[in-house]
Amino acid sequence: MGKIIGIDLGTTNSCVSVMEGNEAVVISNSEGKRTTPSIVAFLDKDERKVGDPAKRQAITNPRKTIFSIKRFMGESYFNVSKEVNRVPYEVVKTDNNVLKIKIENRNYSPQEISSMVLQKMKKTGEIAGLEVKRVVNEPTAAALAYGLDRKAKDINVAVFDLGGGTFDISILELGDSIVEVKSTNGDTHLGGDDFDQVIIDWMAEDFLKNEGVDLRHDAMSLQRLKEAAEKAKIELSSSTMTEINLPYIMPVNGIPKHFVKSLSRAKFEQLADTLIQNTMEPCKKALADADLNANEIDEVILVGGSTRMPAIQNIVEKFFKKKPSKGVNPDEVVAIGAAIQGGILAGDDSLKDILLLDVTPLSLGIETMGRVMTKLIESNTTIPSKKTETFTTAVDNQPSVEIHVLQGERPMAANNKTIGRFHLDGIPPAQRGTPQIEVTFDIDANGILNVSAKDKSTNKEQSIRIEASSGLSDTEINKMKEEAKANEESDKKEKEKIDKLNSADSTIFQIEKQMKEMGDKLPAEKKELIESSISNLKEAHKAQDLDAIDKYMDELNKVFQEAAQGAQGQNGNPNFQDANFQNPNEKQENKKEDKKGKDEYTDFEEVK
């Protein structure tokens, strides 16, 4: 079997890793960064930017730059109304309370946006044509990354995962190459974005108080506030004070206004105190579910960039009564662990003895009479797992039953999350309570659930497959595969265009520089010809006319070489051309060769 890569598709950043020998290595993206911002920007003429290039242009394109999309995945519009009001892009409600992201005249599902991030990361994931071998829970991946599975004695580990959009706490038991998840808990609406939001609100309220204008109502100003808040939060993890400086944030009565204010770590922690305290209740519940107390935890692992905040580290240390481990970069730990899991699946000899025993985080069941939820698989059940129960009809001569599949811990069906529905028809007429309907829940190691219902008298059966990874139908996946292929071609054309524009820019710069060095050694008529060619090339570059760029680059190189050779002859210096002239095109080629085949220009960095 070939190598299997591990992917962490995060709310804020994404990361890819692979096993090289006995070590998991993070793969750098096309910009040379070890993590890729989970951001997609839509530009004119069906262009897209993903990652750092998308993040760089977010301020000038706030309506069409999509970030933190993971917070909306698998959620109904009603459940994320708070988050919807915080983002500058348009989130719309469609049929059945399903949310979509509106970009001009098209609605995108959160899964489609996420697939674009995956495409950026070397076309990874099933949507890009690779087979998904395993979906592994983040806590399990983190434990693998820390190498805790190799400990000789059995230990209890708490994995505290505070990412950009969600918070998870998991209790694991490790030892003798076995990783078993004992319990998991968390808050799907608590993460780094919420800590950014308290700073955004603090800045906006201050400006509103002083100037009478709410910056949160302007998309561009809101995007600037978000970027400033994130930067301030990061700086306050390593320093006790930061200055937020946003010039020309908003004109008020025709007068440009600036926002300049200092924020101390103490003030930030005061603003975010409720969020910090909210991480503790899930920790208590997870310990209770695992039948442990804090003193019985041997190691605490921090996962997610938000755990760099000193206040989070302090409260974790106080709760578990021990210092958390910090041996692996929290932004990379999940991807590294996923790569190790990939090595296990690929049959890596150094990993062959490791066994992962994951759990389902929430109970799974169906709606039964009285609109109650009847659980078939309880939360924190080790997976894979299979459970069968027999149900019957509620009324006489009932011809069909609806299997309403639910996830959650509440007793009433309406208070839990619907993850699937299907009907079993053709039940023979009979008194209520007579038909025997056998319902089976089968959840595999990837957390993918298969639910089937079978009428014992006729052996008629219906089933549904519920995928935890994407929730996409085959039609949607095929559609995305086609879009990925189409974008691959457009991405290639865009790169060729950027290479040509950069080559023209470099040609202009090099020749203007060498003209200055030659000075009066260039004849006036030759100088006029060169300047005319440069002017033509600049106009073609400005218009992004690729055919004209080719024409005027050739013309410019020709007239400059002739002028340089003439100047060399006039001055009687046989080394003049070698000393002063370098073909700009040759320089471009040499730069590419120095990079050993890597793309020199990966994304167009101009802010539009």
Q: Do residues 40 and 54 make contact, with C-beta atoms less than 8 angstroms apart?
A: yes
Tracing tokens 């310990």 back to the chain, one arrives at 287
If DSSP codes are grouped into helix, strand and coil, which group holds residue 103?
Answer: strand
Rg (C-alpha) for the chain, rounded Å, is: 30
Residues 146 and 301: beta-carbon distance below 8 Å:
yes
Handedness of CA 97, 102, 108, 111 (dihedral sign): negative
Angle, to 10 degrees, between the axis of helix 524-543 and the axis of helix 474-518? Answer: 160
Q: Shortest CA distance to 246 belongs to which of 270, 215, 275, 277?
A: 215
Q: Which residues are catalytic?
A: 8, 70, 138, 161
- CB distance 357 to 180 below 8 Å: yes
Parallel/antiparallel/unpaired status of strands 299-303 and 385-391: unpaired
Residue at token pair 């008629």: 460
Please, which residues have CB within 8 angstroms of residue 273's CB and are 6 or more apart in sequence?
A: none
Q: What are phi and psi of 579, to 5 degrees?
A: -75, -35
Tokens of 509: 């710069």
Report d(CA 334, CA 445) in Å as an integer.
18
Q: Are 471 and 74 within 8 A, CB to CB?
A: yes
Per-residue DSSP letters for 172-207? EEEETTEEEEEEEEEETT-SHHHHHHHHHHHHHHHH
